[in-house]
C-alpha cells in the first residue's frame, strides 16, 4: 500500500512539472502526500510529507480559494500536527465555504472540544482533581471557565446547526453530550445550572443511542431480506 502512494506521488509530481497550472494535479499530489502521513509519528520525514501536502493544497487555494477539498485537507493535517488554532481557522473556512454540509460544523467542534479538553485536564491535574470529581465548587472552576467557556459555547452553537441540517447525525449528538457535560463542570457555584446541563447531555446521548439502534435494526432488516 505504501509503495502505491509513493508511485502516485511520483506520478503527480511529473504531472505538476509538466503543467503547474493544473489545479487537480496539485490536489491529487497533496492527497497522495497526505495519505503517507502516519498519525502520532514524530519523525522528520513524516512532518516533511505533511508540510508538502499542505503546500500543494495551498497552491490549489491560491487559484481556487473556495476549493473545499483543499480547505478540509489543510484543516485535517493542521489538526494532526496539533496546530489547533490553524486547524480551527480552516475548519471555520470550510463552514463559510459550504454552510450546507454538517460535517464542516463537526470539524470546527472537534477542534473546539480538543482545545477545551486539553486545557481543562491540565488545570484539573495541577489542582489534584481526578476525572470523577466535579470542579464546580472548587477554586479551579473559575480558571477553567475563563479559558474554556467560549470554546464550549461555540461548539454547542455549531453542533446545533449540524443537527438541524442532519437530524440523525450521531457523532454530532455524541459531541453535544460531551460539550454539555463540559459546560456543566464550568457552572461555578451554580449547581442548578450544572444539573440542567447534565440533563441536556443525557438527552443528547439518549438521542444518539436511539438513532443508532434504529439504524442497526434497519440494517438487520435489509440483511435478512437478502
Residues 131-186 pLDDT 10s? 888 888 899 999 999 999 999 999 999 999 999 999 999 999 999 999 999 999 99
Cα separation, 140 vs 144, in Å, equals 6
Of 10-24, 116-130, 206-220, the poorest mean pLDDT is in 10-24
Q: Where do runs of H (alpha helix) occur along 64-139?
A: 68-80, 84-97, 102-126
- Final residue of a domain: which of 81, 112, 133? 81
CB 176 within 8 A of CB 190: no
Q: Are residues 13 and 77 in the same domain?
A: yes
Query: Which residues touch 211 (CB under 8 Å, ≥6 apart)?
Result: 168, 170, 173
φ/ψ of residue 163, rounded to 5: -70, -35
Q: Minimal CA–CA distance to 108: which of 122, 120, 121, 96? A: 96
In 81-201, which ranges are E strands?
A: none
CB 157 within 8 A of CB 106: no
Q: Is residue 91 part of a domain?
A: no
pLDDT digits (tens, 9 = 90+) for 12-70: 777 777 667 777 888 888 888 888 777 666 667 768 888 989 999 999 999 999 999 99
In the chain, which ranges are E strands?
A: none
Q: Is residue 115 part of a domain?
A: yes
- Final residue of a domain: which of 81, 108, 123? 81
pLDDT reported for residue 21? 77
Q: Is residue 86 part of a domain?
A: no
Predicted model pTM? 0.83
Mean pLDDT of 198-204: 97
Copy the grid coordinates of residue 182. 463540559
Q: Is residue 59 part of a domain?
A: yes
Query: Which residues touch 156 (CB under 8 Å, ≥6 apart)?
Result: 176, 179, 180, 183
Q: Domain of residue 154: give its range.
A: 99-226
pLDDT reported for residue 72? 95
Q: Is residue 89 part of a domain?
A: no
Q: Is the pLDDT of residue 1 over 60?
A: no
Cα separation, 114 vs 91, in Å, equals 14
Q: Are residues 113 and 195 in the same domain?
A: yes
Q: Is residue 195 part of a domain?
A: yes
Domain containing residue 32: CATH number: 1.25.40.10
pLDDT reported for residue 41? 66
Q: Is residue 62 part of a domain?
A: yes
Q: Are residues 76 and 105 in the same domain?
A: no
Amino acid at each position: 500500500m505504501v509503495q502505491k502512494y509513493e508511485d502516485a506521488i511520483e506520478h503527480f509530481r511529473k504531472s505538476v512539472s509538466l503543467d503547474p497550472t493544473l489545479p487537480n494535479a496539485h490536489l491529487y499530489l497533496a492527497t497522495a502526500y497526505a495519505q503517507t502521513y502516519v498519525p502520532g509519528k514524530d519523525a522528520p520525514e513524516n512532518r516533511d510529507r505533511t508540510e508538502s501536502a499542505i503546500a500543494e493544497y495551498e497552491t490549489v487555494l491560491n487559484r481556487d480559494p473556495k476549493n473545499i477539498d483543499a480547505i478540509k485537507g489543510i484543516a485535517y493535517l493542521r489538526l494532526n500536527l496539533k496546530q489547533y488554532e490553524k486547524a480551527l481557522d480552516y475548519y471555520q473556512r470550510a463552514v463559510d465555504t459550504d454552510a450546507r454540509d454538517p460535517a464542516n460544523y463537526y470539524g470546527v467542534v472537534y477542534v473546539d472540544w480538543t482545545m477545551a479538553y486539553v486545557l481543562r485536564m491540565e488545570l484539573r491535574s495541577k489542582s489534584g482533581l481526578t476525572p470523577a470529581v466535579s470542579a464546580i465548587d472548587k477554586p479551579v472552576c473559575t480558571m477553567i471557565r475563563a479559558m474554556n467557556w467560549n470554546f464550549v459555547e461555540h461548539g454547542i452553537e455549531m453542533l446545533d446547526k449540524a443537527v438541524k441540517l442532519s437530524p440523525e447525525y450521531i457523532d454530532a449528538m455524541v459531541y453535544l453530550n460531551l460539550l454539555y457535560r463540559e459546560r456543566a463542570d464550568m457552572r461555578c457555584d451554580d449547581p442548578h445550572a450544572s444539573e440542567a446541563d447534565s440533563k441536556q447531555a443525557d438527552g443528547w446521548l439518549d438521542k444518539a443511542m436511539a438513532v443508532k439502534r434504529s439504524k442497526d435494526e434497519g440494517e438487520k432488516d435489509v440483511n435478512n431480506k437478502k
